[in-house]
Amino acid sequence: QKEVEQNSGPLSVPEGAIASLNCTYSDRGSQSFFWYRQYSGKSPELIMFIYSNGDKEDGRFTAQLNKASQYVSLLIRDSQPSDSATYLCAGGGANQAGTALIFGKGTTLSVSS
Amino acid sequence: GAVVSQHPSWVICKSGTSVKIECRSLDFQATTMFWYRQFPKQSLMLMATSNEGSKATYEQGVEKDKFLINHASLTLSTLTVTSAHPEDSSFYICSASPRTSYGYTFGSGTRLTVV
């Protein structure tokens, strides 16, 4: 059974702080990892994806992947109230066009002003 | 690029009727599309993988006769909820990827309420 585990939270941080979201996965065959943000009642929107071990930065977001530990994380710097949402971690195969994503249950982030 | 359009955004139907949800890839061809269902405060659960020109692959526990999937072209997949019941009320979302290394794009979702 392929699984992606996330702490459901809620994770509460003050505005301007760093929010750290974590995720583990069970399938060593997973090749790609994705972080999505989902606002209540809306469809998920892609924040970042990562394939290689190490860090990948995009603006205020940094994704980290450690395949040996089967661990993925997302850091959000300078957190804003608009970042308050549910963050979904997902793992996928090498052939994204033909392989579905497996999602974690999501971590709810609350950024207070 | 890589836009997926989903319609309708919301639908209310009577118990026992059928509802069709459309998912279109607007600027790319999608041999495969994925259908997810999300209940309140829960994560996205994969229902089925839709393959152009062939039968869909359903996940364990998903009734293929109840959730009919048709992927008749490279840009359109439809999900029909047949004989809908209140327990089918959920948020249905489709997804596709134009190619490897791009990521997955999601439709805007369809909120189905069966009364």
- Given a contact cutoff of 8 angstroms between Cβ atoms, the answer to whether B1 and B28 are in contact is yes
Distance between A2 CA and the closest CA of chain B, angstroms: 12
Give per-residue pLDDT as tens, B28-84. 888 889 999 999 888 889 999 998 888 899 999 999 999 999 998 999 999 999 999
Nearest CA to A93 among A6, A41, A35, A30? Answer: A30
Distance between B13 CA and the closest CA of chain A, angstroms: 19
Q: Which two tokens stand for residue A78?
A: 């300078």
Task: Return the pLDDT at A97.
Answer: 63
User: Would you call B106 and A94 a contact, using CB atoms and an 8 Å cutoff?
Assistant: no
User: Would you call B31 and A98 a contact, using CB atoms and an 8 Å cutoff?
Assistant: yes
Buried b (16+ CB within 10 A) or exposed e, B26-40: eebebbbbbbbbbee
* β-bridge partners, A47: none
B54 to chain A, any CB pair closer than 8 A? The answer is: no
Task: Return the pLDDT at A25.
Answer: 92
Distance between A57 CA and the closest CA of chain B, angstroms: 16
pLDDT band at A95 (very low <50, low <70, confident <90, very high): low
